[in-house]
Amino acid sequence: MSTDISGRVALVTGASSGLGERFARVLAGDGARIAIAARRLDRLEALAAELRAAGAEVLPVALDVTSVAAIRAVAVEIEQRMGPIEILVNNAGISRQARIDIIEEDDYDAVLDTNLKGPFFMAQAAAKQMIAHKIAGRIVNIASIAGQRAIGQLSTYGMSKAGMIQMTHQMAREWSRYGINTNAICPGYISTEISAEYITTEAGAKWVASLPRKRMGEPRDLDSVLRLLCAGEAARFLNGAIISADDGFTSL
């Protein structure tokens, strides 16, 4: 069965850094016509220039996923300039680390709006295009192992990702009749620019040593599962799947 996505229109949110940037590189390298979205347009433009130099068709768009109006406008822009969205990688997200008893309302709202409300309406906008154009689309929600088990001082983040997991199940159930497959990846601890400094400290090294194989993952460790979930026929029976890519962390 084919995993070819050449020529398909893919949107990756939160593509200005970290996992989103990696996902954009992978899909563009596999031949997708790709829209990349994030708040930091300057970083998107730099990434787009690099991907274009390698032969990819890329559309960078500024997007704050906490604005439903902005989400809908970006979806329309992509459809007008590239065609309807066929693959969505719902990756945009933030975290606020704090004990439950001291979390402020602004931080609570920022995390839930970015990590759950935004992806919900982004998926809705993409699915409407898929349904209207009779596209057997693929939606990949980037959740987290924090949505599957309690992790200290990550309550709002974990709640948002648990909500995304349930959202994935619900979308899979409702949109399967249209040929749309909705799945989620739950990454474990992945080394990105956000964590790079911490893991070089004594406390960070001690924490890494507590992981099952005493290592963090790298963004490239998610390439294979991303490719599978974005595929056509090769992924036709994967719908509503919640895939942990965590090197055994949730088995502890």
User: Percentage of residues in the chain with pLDDT exceeding 90?
Assistant: 80
Task: Band the pLDDT of 252: cuts 50, 70, 90.
Answer: low
Is the whole model's pTM more than 0.85, yes or no? yes
Task: Return mean pLDDT, the chain.
Answer: 94
Rounded Cα distance, 27 and 116, in Å: 23
Tell me phi and psi for residue 10, to 5 degrees: -120, 140
* Distance in angstroms (rounded) separating the CA atoms of residues 12 and 21: 8
Whether 157 is a known active-site residue: answer yes
Kindly report, residue by residue over 181-191, the tens digit of the pLDDT. 999 999 998 98
**The predicted structure's pLDDT at residue 119:** 98
Looking at residue 192, its pLDDT comes to: 81
In 3D, which of 35, 82, 85 has the Cα closest to residue 63? 35
Mean pLDDT of 237-246: 96
118-132 and 155-175 are packed helices; what angle lies between their axes, rounded to 10 degrees?
Answer: 20
- Mean pLDDT on 51-68: 98
Give the Cα separation of 154 and 97 in Å (integer).
Answer: 5
Residue tagged active-site, from 108, 157, 189, 198: 157
User: What pLDDT digit, counting tens, does each position of 67-126 carry?
Assistant: 999 999 999 999 999 999 999 999 999 988 899 999 999 999 999 999 999 999 999 999
**How much is the average pLDDT of 199-219?**
86
Domains with residue ranges and CATH for the chain: 9-190+220-244 (3.40.50.720)
Q: Give the pLDDT confidence score for residue 14 in this predicted structure.
A: 97
Rounded to an integer, what is the distance from CA 200 to the centroid of its chain?
A: 26
Closest CA to 27 of 183, 233, 226, 185: 226
**36 has pLDDT over 70:** yes
Query: Which of 178, 188, 173 lies closest to 225 in space, CA to CA?
Result: 188
